[in-house]
A and B are shown apart, each in its own frame.
Chain A
Amino acid sequence: MKDKKSYEVILFKAVSYALKAEKILKKEGLPHKLIPVPKHISSDCGVCIRFEPEIKSKIEAALFNKVDVEEIRTLEN
């Protein structure tokens, strides 16, 4: 698998927040990927946004006060 490096994921309370966040990140040109919430975090059919740790502060700044973020977690690989 290509996913050898570690990633961070942003978890949201609802899919609509994830969509809103995705739109903002796209507009800002911040690389990210919408992925299913990893099974070990939740077995719900949810989506979250994955990004590389290096841009964490930029991502946080972009979403601050715009989207309700539940949690940002580090994904172990």
Chain B
Amino acid sequence: MTDIKIVDARGLSCPQPVVLTKLALEANASVKTIVDNQTALENVKRLADKFGCDINVESQEGGIYEIQITRGADFDKNQDFSTSCGTGAATSGLFVVVFAENKMGRGNDELGAVLIKAFLHTVAGQAKKPDVMIFYNTGVKLTVQGSDVLDDLKQLESEGVQILVCGTCLNYFEIKDKLAVGIVSNMYDIVETMSSAGRLLAP
């Protein structure tokens, strides 16, 4: 066997081990990818299977896997392969729900008010809770005294959901002193949270 291209993917997270392995396979008949976790191992194995390569996995100490991959005869580098990470929805990053209005959807406000109540009731009953919920513009009205959804929001907060309420907005509507759930937040935290979201839901 000729030269073996070594891909050291230790310390890298999905999709990098797969991407690097695929690049190496395009240029080399034989590749050895080294990974340090089970997920990366499975992902690289999936890639090798998909491209019809022979693989041989050696398990080393400390959770290190050396994956020996040899290109098959009908290797086609242009074959489609999704380097998606995890299964289903994004598994990394925050699950964030954004309330830009005190209603759900546009068109009819009365209906929108009904829908947002039903939405929050359902979110509060779901097993997979958001990590963070952000309220701005008229959305902040959901978080103050007299809001019909306070019970649901308080329940979510008690279960560890972080509730960020736009301070500028509370100020604009002159309801800052009526805030009943969550913490007064600012554009820095809001932008940072939205930017680091793995999933961003906007009812």
Interface size on A, residues (CB 8 A): 11
* CB pair B118 A2 closer than 8 Å: no
Bound complex: CA of A1 vs CA of B111, how far in Å? 27
A-B contact count (CB 8 A): 25
- A-side residues, CB < 8 A to B, are 1-3, 15, 18-19, 33-36, 47
Task: Say how far A49's CB is from chain B's closest CB, in angstroms.
Answer: 11
Main secondary structure of the interface of B (DSSP, over half): helix
- B-side residues, CB < 8 A to A, are 110-111, 114, 117-118, 121-122, 125, 148, 151, 155
Main secondary structure of the interface of A (DSSP, over half): mixed
* CB pair A15 B111 closer than 8 Å: yes
Task: Say how far B71's CB is from chain A's closest CB, in angstroms.
Answer: 50
What are 25 inter-chain pairs, A to B, with CB distance below 8 A? A1-B125, A2-B155, A3-B125, A15-B111, A15-B114, A18-B114, A19-B110, A19-B114, A33-B117, A33-B121, A33-B151, A34-B114, A34-B117, A34-B118, A34-B121, A34-B148, A35-B117, A35-B118, A35-B121, A36-B118, A36-B121, A36-B122, A47-B114, A47-B117, A47-B118
